Amino acid sequence: MKIVPVHAFRDNYIWLLVHGSYAAVVDPGNAAPVLEFLRQHALALCAILTTHRHDDHIGGVPALLEMADVPVYAPRHESFAFPHHPVGEGDRISLNALETALDVLDVPGHTAEHVAYYGGNRLFCGDTLFGCGCGRIFDGTARQLFHSLQKLAALPDDTLIYPAHEYTLNNIRFARMLDPENQALIEREAADQARIAQGLPTLPSTLAQERSTNPFLRCHTPGIRHAAAQSAPGADASDEMTFCAIRELKNHY
């Protein structure tokens, strides 16, 4: 199976899972570039997966459904204006045309109902985990997001990370302010700057790479603890308090 990014809006990635002449799509905020890609490559859409209710992730669903009568998977505990299968933690989605299956993980925080899809060493995490960063808090809480990221951080090292936005370089700049001595971060910045300069995505990353560079997965390290305490005295008392402090700091960065 191949995973292909389709660009949408300013910095969204709509990920397509392609196998043979079929494709499933994750978070189609806009239908037009997806339909164009399917047409160019003579692919039939077989499923639509959505991680959360924000428009830039679901806006293209109705137009795609007009073209193809396919199942849509969307988080339970949330209402959507299109027919869908509500999914949550513990559910497994069989994508028979792609000869694969994905497990659903509840990862609240960015929104209260956000889910991720995981299978075959790949994680489609929407706006929860980004390259070297994490999502903002909308109607979830920072504590929820901390625990969701801890859950994702427990996946295998070689898990490929497919977030829904290209935010990596900006996130690395923020991370370097907190963690200036981190050699892996310095190396990541150079590598990702080179990718962007060539017009390539910085994604997917690997979970090992995120664990060594992403400050939101490094709240247990002395460097990030220290940086958190500088902005919010006492925030170094726990990983969770450190996380909440640096999430707040990022809001004003």
* Site for Zn ion, rule CB under 5 A: 54, 127
Shortest Cβ 230–Zn ion spacing (Å):
29
Amino acid at 116: A
Cα torsion 123, 194, 41, 14 to 10°: value is: 40
Helices (H), 198-238: 207-213, 222-231
CB of 106 to Zn ion, least distance (A): 16
Is 252 annotated in the active site? no
Let me know: does 209 contact 188? Beta carbons within 8 Å.
Answer: yes
Exactly one of 27, 106, 127, 192 is catalytic; name it.
127
Task: From the candidates 27, 52, 179, 192, give the one annotated as an active-site residue.
Answer: 52
Q: Is 127 a catalytic residue?
A: yes
Q: Which is nearer to Zn ion, 75 or 204 (CB)?
A: 75
Which one, 54 or 247, has the nearer CB to Zn ion? 54
54 or 218: CB nearest Zn ion: 54
Options 84, 110, 179, 192, the catalytic residue: 110
- For the bound state, the minimum distance from the C-beta of residue 10 to Zn ion, rounded and expressed in Å, comes to 14
Least distance (Å) between residue 40 CB and Zn ion: 28
**Closer to Zn ion at the Cβ: 2 or 10?**
10
Provide the CA 140 distance to its chain's centre, in angstroms: 16
Q: Who's near 44: CB < 8 A, 6+ residues apart?
A: 21, 22, 23, 38, 68, 97
d(CA 185, CA 46): 38
Alpha-carbon 213 to chain mean position:
16
Distance of CA 72 to the CA centre of its chain: 18
Q: Is 165 a catalytic residue?
A: yes
- Indicate which residue of 27, 56, 106, 192 is catalytic: 56
Catalytic residue chosen out of the listed positions 84, 106, 114, 165: 165
Closer residue to Zn ion (CB): 8 or 43: 8
Q: Residue 123, Cβ neighbours under 10 Å: how many? A: 24
Q: Are strands 44-49 and 72-75 parallel, antiparallel or unpaired?
A: parallel
Query: Does 52 qualify as catalytic in the annotation?
Result: yes
Supply the minimum distance, in Å, between the C-beta of residue 95 and Zn ion.
23
Report the interhelical angle of 239-251 vs 142-153 (nearest 10°): 110
Answer yes or no: 54 catalytic.
Answer: yes
Is 220 marked active-site? no
Residues with catalytic annotation?
A: 52, 54, 56-57, 110, 127, 165
